[in-house]
Amino acid sequence: MSVQGLNDAIARMRADGMSDVAITAFTHNYHQWESDRSGFIAEENVKPLKQLPSIAEVMTTISAEDAHEALAHTAFLKLNGGLGTSMGLSKAKSLLPVRLHKGRPMRFLDIILGQVVATRSAQGVDLPLVFMNSYRTSKDTLQVIRRNRHFKQTDIPVEILQHREPKILAETGEPVSWPENPDLEWCPPGHGDVYATLSDSGILDTLEKAGIRYLFISNSDNLGARPSSSVAGYFAQTGAPFMVEVARKTQADVKGGQFVFDKTTGTIRLREMSQVPKADLAKATDIKRHPFFNTNNIWVRIDALKAKLAEYNGILPLPVIRNTKTVDPTNPDSPQVVQLETAMGAAIGLFEGSVCLEVNRPRFLPVKTTNDLFIMRSDRFHLTDTFEMEDGNYDFPKIHLDPRYYKLIQDFDERFPYGVPSIAAANSVTIEGDWTFGASVKFFGDAHLADPQNDPDPVTRRDRAYVRDASHVGPRGIEKGDW
């Protein structure tokens, strides 16, 4: 790598008005990337975490008074910088409608605001809410917040603005140039940037002055990460400076990041799947060997975080993660770039006495793809008046929608004009090819629709259809009497 490449990137950041903290963080990540291109964490160097306290076990040790006291001193921080480009979105992902509530389309953002307002009312707490927006999500997000007549917050800012950094050419280490769309020359530094952003913004001092001791951080696309007095109470009771909520893996979670015990440092650390050598993937994805995954629901004591930031001059030295993409995500022929990112949960290794807590599955309901959105919009869920995404057992069917026709949200919505079919009785759903669905369609068992590419009318619309396993009801998995 050339020194000139880093210098050019720094010059671009200064011209863009990036702070010294942002530039220092980028410089740290760039040097780390230069010195260790692999970034791998080998299985032989770690030990799996298998026995952890669960919220179900510890709830009986927390009094209602202590739980309420902890929540009364907690602030809620939502990471809201993502655009959902993998689903074809160009605005904040949190503005995507999730489902109807009393006839009204509810977006992620509406549900988050509803959860906070409902908790404030029920618990009698202030519960400040802050969004970490990016330069692309700030305007639209603030517009929605201002229009919500139920949500009020005056003394504490509702936004801190995430940093941004240049995308780096994979071959040369120089900042990429893309005149066709200069915005695509920039990227966020990953959610690990939350700590530098908190340091830069000065909001930690503001929160402390308001009597806030604890910060609960989660992703805006995880509607299960609701305010919880029980979890807040347990965190306060432990006296730990840092806590991560983890959940027990199913086969659907094998790609999720995991916390492991580092044999070299003697600390807990986060290992993302991108940091696992290929030779170790089988062991790393074995859910018996590594039974827990990272929900990215983080609790941190503000005084401990301020002390740690002061120790490292405002920049936590987190492991860098290489995210290799093309400069234009929609154009596979555009130049290959590296986005230098860090993960929020990786900070666990910096705080002595950090802990993990096993939580129930309802606290992890993310939407990363249209497959996830399909479940969220289905009859598996009910959105309660307190804005809880409620399901019977949270053991969801495996969904596979043909990415050629359902990956992008516009294509997805066009093919489900009456809403997604019923999956209450489905074990799995596989849709191959281009199908458009009518009203009141129901999926049963291992529902499977084969690609109708040789059908004279491949784009099919029918109401009240029953879709099951093709082996039981015909070559295309359709109940013949109803389709």
As a three-state string, the secondary structure of the chain is CCHHHHHHHHHHHHHCCCCHHHHHHHHHHHHHHHHCCCCCCCHHHEEECCCCCEHHHHHHHCCHHHHHHHHHCEEEEEEECCCCHHHCCCCCHHHCEEEEECCEEEEHHHHHHHHHHHHHHHHCCCCCEEEEECCCCHHHHHHHHHHCCCCCCCCCCCEEECCCEECEECCCCCECCCCCCHHHHEECCCHHHHHHHHHHHCHHHHHHHCCCCEEEEEECCECCCCCCHHHHHHHHHHCCCEEEEEEECCHHHCCCCEEEEECCCCCEEEECHHHCCHHHHHHHCCCCCCCEEEEEEEEEEHHHHHHHHHHCCCCCCCCCEEEEEECCCCCCCCCEEEEEECCHHHHHHHCCCCEEEECCHHHCCECCCHHHHHHHCCCCCEECCCCCEECCCCCCCEEEECHHHHCCHHHHHHHCCCCCCEEEEEEEEEECCCCCCCCCCEEEEEEEECCCCCCCCCCCCCCCCEECCHHHHCCCCECCCCC
**Residue 407 corresponds to which tokens in the numbers above?**
């990956």
368 labeled binding residue: yes
**Residue 298 corresponds to which tokens in the numbers above?**
């983080």
Partner residues linked to 47 by β-bridges: 261
28 labeled binding residue: no
Q: Which residues of 22-44 are buried (b: 16+ CB within 10 A; e: fewer)?
A: bbbbbbbbbebbeeeeeebbebe
**Residue 66 corresponds to which tokens in the numbers above?**
């202590």
162 labeled binding residue: yes
Alpha-carbon span 329 to 343, nearest angstrom: 21
Using CB atoms within 10 Å of the CB of residue 207, give its burial: 0 to 12 exposed, 13 to 18 middle, 19+ buried. buried
221 labeled binding residue: yes
Task: Give the CB-side neighbour count of residue 278, counting CA atoms within 13 A.
Answer: 0
Q: What is the phi/psi pair of residue 466, to 5°?
A: -115, 125
368 as an active site residue: the answer is: yes
448 labeled binding residue: no
191 labeled binding residue: yes
Q: Are strands 398-401 and 422-431 parallel, antiparallel or unpaired?
A: parallel
Point out the catalytic residue in the list 306, 325, 368, 407.
Answer: 368
Going by the annotation, the residues of the binding site are 93, 162, 190-191, 221, 368
Going by the annotation, the residues of the binding site for UTP are 93, 162, 190, 221, 368
Q: Which residues are catalytic?
A: 368
